Amino acid sequence: MSNPFSAFKNTQCDGCDEYIDEGDEVWIYDGEKLCSPCADAEEWICECGCFKNPDFKQCYECSRT
């Protein structure tokens, strides 16, 4: 499954416990699923908008340039 993916009906964020609107972005990592604001706060989103491992400053593609 790629990051992010579109939320299904009744998808709940594990970070803020809010429901994510159907079709909005959901980020998943290490068994957790987060809405975009929570994923950004957890540093899962690279400056380019792609998923990145929170242990690194950039995603794989950005780190190669």
When the candidates are 1.10.150, 1.20.58, 2.10.110, 2.60.40, the CATH number that belongs to 5-63 is 2.10.110
In contact, 50 and 38? CB cutoff 8 Å:
no
pLDDT score recorded for residue 1:
57
Task: State the alpha helices, DSSP H only, in the chain.
Answer: 36-41, 60-63
The burial of 35, by beta-carbon neighbours within 10 Å (0-12 exposed, 13-18 middle, 19 or more buried), is given as: buried
DSSP 33: E
pLDDT tens per residue, range 18-52: 999 999 999 999 999 999 999 999 999 999 999 99
Q: Determine the pLDDT at residue 65.
A: 80
Domain ranges for the chain, please list them. Answer: 5-63
